[in-house]
Chains A and B, each alone.
Chain A
Amino acid sequence: MIVLESIVKYFHKGSVNEVFALDDISLHIDEGDFVTVIGSNGAGKSTLLNGIAGGFFVDSGQISIAGNDVTAWPEYKRARLISRVFQDPLLGTCPSATLEQNMALAGLRGKRRGLSRGVKGRDRDRFRTALEQLGLGLEDRLLDKVGLLSGGQRQALTMLMATMIKPDVLLLDEHIAALDPKTASQILTLTQDIVENQNLTTLMITHNMKHAIGFGNRLIMLHQGRILLDLRGDEKKNLTVKDLLEQFYRAQGEELAMDSMLLN
């Protein structure tokens, strides 16, 4: 479903601020795979997802999604195939538009937008039913502005909006990291339900090792722009947090050695 071939990405190439963010990444993800992505801060996780989504063009390599070579497609065009949910709940919705307007915008993801009504009468029942499933009482607030909702409510709405039209690929970038623990686990359960029901091909970045092990059928660990670990099937199932941390620290060994040298 997703094929990355030798993806390379620099930021500020050639300047003193040069960052080698993605170092020759190749990755094949099958249809229906639910991949969790871990790695230390600055490992390149967000950059990887951004590169897939078209937030920038990669410096070299090839990206194909659902059989389309999208390497040269701009972000808005890739949106036909991809849905995203960001860490910041404010990024996924329009605050000054109403719930139903936001949902209608998402209901046209990747489609032509013409001169018929933005929110159609027949949509409302569909929206209400979808919101009911969240169990947050949002079904009675179709005409409220989204800016009035809490972060958790907005993120739940964003999850719903991201999957109103089934995406070929769902990209989640620490989408529960900004929420309080209770809301976070609600959104995570919701994510699991949606991904399973629609059998979505999903990449989910998390900094929670338990979630990384407990969710999905494949786990990759990034470090300094490379894929350091790629586990699936039983290998992943039998993984413990302790194993993972060991691998994690072994990967960062050189850095830790450097740190301890500096500390001493």
Chain B
Amino acid sequence: MTFYAALGAVEQGLVYGIMVIGVYLTFRILDFPDLTVDGSLPLGAAISAVAITSGVNPYLSLVLALAGGFVAGMATAFLNTRFKILHLLASILTMIALYSINIRIMSGPNVALLGVNTVFDPVIQLGVPAHYAGIVVFGLFAVVVLAGIIWFLGTELGQAILATGDNQQMIRSLGVNTDTIIILGVGLSNGLVALSGALVAQNQGAADVGMGIGTIVAGLASVIIGETVFGCRTIARAFIAALLGSVVYRLAIALALGAELGGFRFNPSDLNLITAILVIGALIAPNLKKRLIER
């Protein structure tokens, strides 16, 4: 792997790591498997791209993207809690609806972001070389999001979210409206996913309606790799592991795609196969380790 390939992988790991933090919140904390993310990632990208091309400040466009994602997540959670639609199904419904909505927002399948201001400009103006701007901005955002979510889950409200994922009956009989908590949690998760999508779009110079495909797969792969490699004993550790898991996942893919064995090379279309193998590896690794130690 070249230096630039590694740099690119870390950059991707950090920006998609924000999405992974969101996925961790629903999948592990709230025990709410949520496929909305395949729609809310491009939703964030679309909102941000359209806002920027209409002259909105790139940073402000991130706030709009986050809010849009939040609403999308709320819609899924509302379908689930209010109408008792199974969470997976509710999230698939929102996801497919978002496909159309995203095209509406962009008035087409994509929006290019060429020759406009992005969140990277102020950083480059500060003297950071252009090819490091991505890693600096994404690193900053990822760390702020990580610190923010760890802080939030330590608050009274955050503790109620953790308890809702752990023992709904108990926290309800302590006076918490668990439906509201689930709507808040899934909303927050998708807000982060949309923020991640907005940053990706600004980095790659375009928002595209297809860019969300496979988001949940990448998210879950990162979560599982993170847990296996870095552990999840405390909440703080689990979220740090989710972010780092995302970086490891992107590095592993870059490594695999760059590898040459005799005449064999992976194609970009082998990505899903590589992801599947990585996840299987991460899932069985703890078992293998235990068996080796027991011998």
B177 contacts partner chain A, Cβ-Cβ < 8 Å? yes
Query: Across the interface, which residues of B come within 8 angstroms of A194, CB to CB?
Result: none
With both chains docked as a complex, state the minimum distance between the C-beta of A203 and any C-beta of chain B, in angstroms. 15
Contact B172 A109 (CB under 8 A): no
Q: A55 vs B174: C-alpha distance in the bound complex, in angstroms?
A: 13
Contact B154 A117 (CB under 8 A): yes
A249 contacts partner chain B, Cβ-Cβ < 8 Å? no
Looking at the complex, which one of B162, B172, B173 makes contact with A97 (CB distance below 8 Å)? B162
A114 contacts partner chain B, Cβ-Cβ < 8 Å? yes
| Interface size grouping (class) on chain A | 20 to 34
* Known contacts A105-B163, A110-B175; A115/B170 CB under 8 A: no
With both chains docked as a complex, state the minimum distance between the C-beta of B20 and any C-beta of chain A, in angstroms. 20
Contact A91 B169 (CB under 8 A): yes
- Which B residues from 155 to 182 make CB contacts under 8 A with A? 155-160, 162-163, 166-167, 169-178
With both chains docked as a complex, state the minimum distance between the C-beta of A88 and any C-beta of chain B, in angstroms. 10
Q: A119 vs B160: C-alpha distance in the bound complex, in angstroms?
A: 12
Query: Across the interface, which residues of A come within 8 angstroms of B174, CB to CB?
Result: 79, 105-106, 108-110
Please name the residue on chain A nearest to B155 by beta carbon.
A115
Chain B interface mostly: helix
Contact B155 A76 (CB under 8 A): no
With both chains docked as a complex, state the minimum distance between the C-beta of B30 and any C-beta of chain A, in angstroms. 13
Please name the residue on chain A nearest to B160 by beta carbon.
A113
Looking at the complex, which one of A74, A75, A108 makes contact with B156 (CB distance below 8 Å)? A108
Please name the residue on chain A nearest to B161 by beta carbon.
A113
Contact B169 A118 (CB under 8 A): no
Query: Across the interface, which residues of B come within 8 angstroms of A119, CB to CB?
Result: 159
A53 contacts partner chain B, Cβ-Cβ < 8 Å? yes
Q: A86 vs B174: C-alpha distance in the bound complex, in angstroms?
A: 13
A151 contacts partner chain B, Cβ-Cβ < 8 Å? no
Q: A110 vs B160: C-alpha distance in the bound complex, in angstroms?
A: 12
A36 contacts partner chain B, Cβ-Cβ < 8 Å? no
Contact A75 B172 (CB under 8 A): yes
Q: Mark A88-127, 1 if CB is under 8 A from B, else 0.
A: 0011111111000100111011110111111100000000
Contact B169 A79 (CB under 8 A): no
With both chains docked as a complex, state the minimum distance between the C-beta of A96 and any C-beta of chain B, in angstroms. 5
With both chains docked as a complex, state the minimum distance between the C-beta of B53 and any C-beta of chain A, in angstroms. 35
Q: A75 vs B154: C-alpha distance in the bound complex, in angstroms?
A: 25
Contact A80 B175 (CB under 8 A): yes
Query: Across the interface, which residues of A come within 8 angstroms of B175, CB to CB?
Result: 76-77, 79-80, 108-111
With both chains docked as a complex, state the minimum distance between the C-beta of A90 and any C-beta of chain B, in angstroms. 8
With both chains docked as a complex, state the minimum distance between the C-beta of B258 and any C-beta of chain A, in angstroms. 40
Q: A105 vs B162: C-alpha distance in the bound complex, in angstroms?
A: 11
* Known contacts A74-B177, A76-B172, A105-B174; A113/B167 CB under 8 A: no
Query: Across the interface, which residues of A come within 8 angstroms of B156, CB to CB?
Result: 104, 108, 113-118
Q: A105 vs B158: C-alpha distance in the bound complex, in angstroms?
A: 11
A84 contacts partner chain B, Cβ-Cβ < 8 Å? yes
* Known contacts A114-B157, A118-B158; A76/B167 CB under 8 A: no
Q: A120 vs B159: C-alpha distance in the bound complex, in angstroms?
A: 12
Contact B157 A94 (CB under 8 A): no
Query: Across the interface, which residues of A come within 8 angstroms of B176, CB to CB?
Result: 76, 79, 113
With both chains docked as a complex, state the minimum distance between the C-beta of B38 and any C-beta of chain A, in angstroms. 28
Please name the residue on chain A nearest to B153 by beta carbon.
A118
Q: Mark A194-216, 1 if CB is under 8 A from B, else 0.
A: 00000000000000000000000
Q: A90 vs B177: C-alpha distance in the bound complex, in angstroms?
A: 20
Q: Which of A80, A110, A113 has the largest number of chain B CB atoms within 10 A?
A: A113
Query: Across the interface, which residues of A come within 8 angstroms of B166, CB to CB?
Result: 94-97
Q: Which of B152, B163, B167 has the largest number of chain A CB atoms within 10 A?
A: B167
Q: Mark A44-66, 1 if CB is under 8 A from B, else 0.
A: 00000000010000000000000
With both chains docked as a complex, state the minimum distance between the C-beta of A161 and any C-beta of chain B, in angstroms. 8
With both chains docked as a complex, state the minimum distance between the C-beta of B153 and any C-beta of chain A, in angstroms. 8
Q: A91 vs B170: C-alpha distance in the bound complex, in angstroms?
A: 6
Query: Across the interface, which residues of B come within 8 angstroms of A114, CB to CB?
Result: 155-157
With both chains docked as a complex, state the minimum distance between the C-beta of A123 and any C-beta of chain B, in angstroms. 11
A-B contact pairs, 6 of them (CB 8 A): A82-B173, A93-B170, A94-B162, A105-B171, A115-B157, A117-B155
